[in-house]
A and B are shown apart, each in its own frame.
Chain A
């Protein structure tokens, strides 16, 4: 099956500064892929190359089999920029109608109504953008990105301006998109969010992918914690498979065991370890 996004040996230089240094990754159809990394790591550059706003120095980015920036690629994607603005005088409905025309979407009023409903803006359909809160504008931006049922959604910090309720709405939305088979590349600083919704994650630092895998794979074993009458003991080198043996040995040694917990490092620990000093 053609990947929704395939990036091969992607490099981008701005003068002497190398923003991307040979990035390679793939996002499968229907996959929720998280992109993590500190400021200046090259995440936004990668997303901008994928949606044709920035030209790579070398390497390639393909959207549903079409070169990034081509009309076929643009037809297959939806994009929410980190910094974006809609004309303040346009209503939510007018913004979506404009993008329907540009995206050649025949969805009409029904599509606009459904998208506004999905992002919780059904009541604000006729409200001018200038009278919307930042969070509402962000949700409108997500609805705009979904115009024309794209195969790939590129979301650059989609929850940065949202309150907890708004973030939950977006999480549900992302899960809904996954169920519809839409691939999503989610660029976010919010590790907990990425951990909650993403199928796979790539950590980028200094223009390179320094770690990638499922959130579970990236969360390394952190030992086994056993609560006994004598107190809590941690077996740092042990894994989940060692837990029954440890309990057996402790009981055989006359200890009373009240609880056992397999410890894993969080995605945050892995992230901080992977990006090193860049995270500060």
Chain B
């Protein structure tokens, strides 16, 4: 336990000393300022729109769309952080000669991997939750709209980046840093494309497209978690307002049901098991 704490702390100290967190904080502030500005403008332009479109609550549509956009942005930023905290954890550090002095200590390799995972997943999870909550409060303060659910979307985002951390860390066992970073961003992109396909499939009533999207989301459950989180923002919204949201760029999110969370946990366990097995057999 002591060794795990030491390794986890070392990984975080490395990120602090290399000013990763400082840069992330500055860029996040810039992002949130931009989001606030956009939200203020958006709500200003929807004033009175509810009277124009009877049966549609314009502030709900605007709020859900803006917060949906924020969730996409937050997931993207969280993914960048997750990838850069983990992309070189094994092969990259071994190639730089940083890993060997640690591995000859009486610390099991699985402890090292688990410590790196827990520290990066906690940091990224906390990051996306905080950014999501700030954006939610900003949306409420500027437009008076509050999402139907708050805990579920926040946890969904955190779980999505936790899965991306696991994939990136597992990738670092096999791939050099650059190749791993590229691979994880492509996997992330594939997940997002799957989500878009699902939306298109829904709009066109194409079962094939919807099936492809659903399968891809189960294979890459960070996308399923993101979509469920997105859907939870307006879980209780009905009627024309619901329809208007579904027609928007962040509507039509699929609910993957109660099995999603147990599945995500099992997925993490399998990825972790495979990564630690490969790491245990790897010559360094």
Contacts and interface: CB of A to CB of B under 8 A. Distances in A.
A209 to B, nearest CB: 21
Interface in A99-141: 99, 101-104, 141
Interface in A74-96: 74-75, 77-79, 81, 83-87, 89
Interface stretch (B95-103, B191-199, B206-214): B95-103
B99 to A, nearest CB: 9
Contact of B97 (A54, A84, A89, A99): A84
Contact of B96 (A71, A85, A104, A141): A85
Contacts of A52: 103-104
Given A87-B14, A101-B2, A101-B3, A75 B97 contact: no
A101 B106 CA distance: 10
Contacts of A53: 100, 103-104, 283-284
Contact of A86 (B7, B101, B105, B106): B101
Contacts of A14: 283
B104 A84 contact: no
B54 interface: no
Given A99-B105, A102-B105, A85 B98 contact: yes
Nearest to B94: A53
Contact of B104 (A55, A79, A83, A87): A79
A123 to B, nearest CB: 23
Contact of A54 (B13, B96, B107, B284): B284
A36 interface: no
A89 B11 CA distance: 12
B104 A89 contact: no
A98 B103 contact: no
Size bracket of the B interface: 20 to 34
A71 B6 contact: no
Nearest to A83: B97
Interface in B240-284: 281, 283-284
B97 A87 contact: no
Interface of B is mostly: helix
A51 interface: yes
Contacts of A188: none
Interface residues of A, number: 29
Contacts of A98: 6, 10
B20 to A, nearest CB: 12
A128 B267 CA distance: 41
A239 B207 CA distance: 94
A187 interface: no
Contacts of A87: 10, 13-14, 17, 98
Given A55-B281, A71-B106, A103-B106, A81 B100 contact: yes
A213 B17 CA distance: 49
A74 B103 CA distance: 9
A81 B99 CA distance: 10
A144 interface: yes
Nearest to A78: B104
Contacts of A55: 281, 283
Interface in A126-181: 141, 144
B51 to A, nearest CB: 60
A81 B97 contact: yes
A102 B6 contact: yes
Given A87-B14, A101-B6, A79 B283 contact: no
A207 to B, nearest CB: 15
29 contacts: A14-B283, A48-B284, A51-B104, A53-B104, A54-B283, A71-B108, A72-B106, A74-B104, A78-B104, A79-B100, A81-B101, A83-B97, A84-B98, A84-B100, A84-B101, A87-B13, A87-B14, A87-B17, A98-B6, A98-B10, A99-B101, A99-B105, A101-B2, A101-B6, A102-B102, A102-B106, A102-B107, A103-B105, A103-B106
Interface of B: 2-3, 6-7, 10, 13-14, 17-18, 96-98, 100-108, 281, 283-284
Given A54-B283, A79-B101, 4 more contacts: A71-B106, A85-B97, A101-B3, A102-B102
